[in-house]
């Protein structure tokens, strides 16, 4: 049942916007539980680096000690020259979504509603 729900979520995210390149549910160590790259899209990074990069993105978001000052974290947006990465918390897991740099940041709230 859980797998079916995750696959449906992945499909909804991919249908949400064609600029989404990658969507996955990952654990706190950056291990992909479900999801992956959009069909036909080539990864920017070497495939052997993907697990380390995902772990790094998630570890940067796991800074719970900031909650003492800023409140409970909801999501993070990282903007780079090539991509935008959005990381949502879903319990003890994270939804990691990367999109082409042209993805409109104004749509992140709608994407949040879709994921959480």
Q: Which residues contact 74 (CB under 8 A, 6 or more apart)?
A: 88, 89, 112
Rounded distance between C-alpha atoms, residue 95 and residue 88, angstroms? 5
Fold of 2-115: Beta-Lactamase (3.30.450)
pLDDT tens digits in sequence order for the chain, 116 residues long: 577 888 888 999 999 999 999 999 998 888 888 899 999 999 898 878 888 888 888 776 655 667 778 887 788 899 999 999 999 988 778 899 999 999 999 999 999 998 88
Domain boundaries, the chain: 2-115
pLDDT at position 98 is 95
């Amino acid at each position: 049942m859980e797998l079916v729900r995750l696959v449906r979520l992945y499909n909804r995210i991919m249908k949400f916007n064609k600029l989404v390149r990658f969507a996955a549910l990952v654990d706190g160590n950056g291990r992909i539980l479900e999801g992956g790259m959009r069909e036909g899209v080539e990864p920017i990074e070497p495939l052997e680096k993907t697990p380390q990069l995902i772990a790094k993105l998630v570890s940067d978001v796991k800074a719970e000690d900031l909650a003492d000052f800023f409140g409970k974290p909801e999501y993070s947006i990282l903007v780079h020259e090539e991509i935008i990465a959005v990381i949502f918390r879903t319990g003890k897991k994270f939804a990691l979504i990367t999109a082409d740099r042209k993805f409109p940041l104004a749509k992140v709230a709608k994407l949040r509603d879709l994921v959480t």
